[in-house]
Amino acid sequence: MAAMPDKQSPRSFEQRVERFAEEAGEAGERLGREAEAAGRRLAANPSVVGAADTAARLWGLLLIGVGAWFFAEVTLGYDMPSIPWRDIWPLGLVVIGLIVIVRGMTRRGA
């Protein structure tokens, strides 16, 4: 909703900045209320909560694995095999694709 320009005397720069700040504050509050309502709706949906738990566990396991790998190699001095990342990243895409497919299949079955 754009405000109509006033037909009164021209406003000073400070007045225009204050009005802009008020409008931005109102818009921010509106956006906050909408985000809070959306968050409540999503939190009430068990499939969303379950998917978030699964994703959090997978990311956690991945980070633990990478951290353990570097800990063993750098700190403990084990001679770990070198990972050629240029050969591994396509495998990561395949895994992500499989996860998306499996999630889609489980949502339809539920």
pTM equals: 0.41
1-46 pLDDT, tens digit per residue, is: 555 555 566 788 999 999 999 999 999 999 999 998 888 887 777 7
The closest of 29, 5, 30 to 16, measured between CA atoms, is 5
pLDDT at res. 64: 92
DSSP string, 32-50: HHHHHHHHHHHHT-HHHHH
Average pLDDT, the chain: 81
